Amino acid sequence: MSPTVVTFPAGSVVGDSIISSVHASEAGAVVIVDATPFHPVDHTWPDQPGDAGAIRLGGESVAVVEAVMAAVSDDGAFAVGADIPVKRGVEGWTWLVGHVLDAEAPAWLTPGAEVSLEVDAELRAGLSRGHTACHLASLALDLAVADLWRKDAGADALGNPDFEGRANQSSRIHEDGAVDGYRLGKSLRKAGFDTETFAATLGEREAAINAQLSAWVASGASSLVETDGPTIVDRRRWHCALPEGDAVIPCGGTHARSLAEFASISVTLELPDPQTLVMTTTAVGA
């Protein structure tokens, strides 16, 4: 078995393929195909949910509730999502995209069958806008707090101090938005970040982020996913041609094709406790 070929980086939401195998699971059957437009949720950093949609053959159709990562060992052991026992790239394992059904596989869904795959395009578009908005918000956040560093924090994709890389603890993307959590604890203070001034000027920082996001949306900059190859294991990067320069961030998700797809992107910043920042990003489609 070869790694699954994926077409979602280019924005595909439909495709034809051949079923490689069908596996039973507690959640429902997991269908493996040789090539797919479905984007799977990453089992190690599950920020963007997997695509949903359908598998069709003639007049028959079955719903795919979510696409997930799967892997099979050289000796035939099959695992899905968090149950995968090895890191990606380990020798002796092949990496795949699994299409999870909400029940057992129907009789017509068998290895060797030629099927059509169809992603829920509206869901995909919303998640893509949410992911692009999430990256833009993180870059705007880095810029808005750049003056609060007393030590070298490393550089983000635009050359600003990398608050995102230093402090981000969680990221969850949804349709037209995202929620990111950051730790503002002792380790960040030791790294040179002025958390007290940040807390005292939270409203100003939020306003600066939103002003920057408005400017970027107005630019209508191009946005795309670059790949090193056609399979699910090949590295991918988000590339956005912002006025300040090209932003390139390693990313396995899907994205809007242009910032012209947005009417607006905005954030709210909250400090539920002195050591935690929550940034909520909201996007509105054009």
Mean pLDDT for 45-65 is: 96
Burial 265-283 (b: 16+ CB within 10 A, else e): bbbebeeeeeeebebebeb
pLDDT digits (tens, 9 = 90+) for 164-193: 999 999 999 999 999 999 999 999 999 999
Of residues 236 and 87, the one with the higher pLDDT is 236
pLDDT digits (tens, 9 = 90+) for 109-159: 999 999 999 999 999 999 999 999 999 999 999 999 999 999 999 999 999
Task: Express as a percent the part of the chain with pLDDT over 90.
Answer: 92
Contacts of 106 (CB under 8 A, 6+ apart): 60, 62
Q: Is the pLDDT of residue 262 over 80?
A: yes
Q: Is the pLDDT of residue 27 over 80?
A: no
Backbone angles phi, psi at 105, to 5 degrees: -70, 135
Tell me what pLDDT residue 91 has: 87
> Which long-range contacts does 70-79 make (Cβ < 8 Å, 24+ apart)?
70/30, 70/32, 70/95, 70/96, 70/97, 70/98, 71/95, 71/96, 72/1, 72/96, 78/21, 78/23
Mean pLDDT for 236-261 is: 97
pLDDT digits (tens, 9 = 90+) for 188-229: 999 999 999 999 999 999 999 999 999 999 999 999 999 999
Tell me what pLDDT residue 87 has: 85
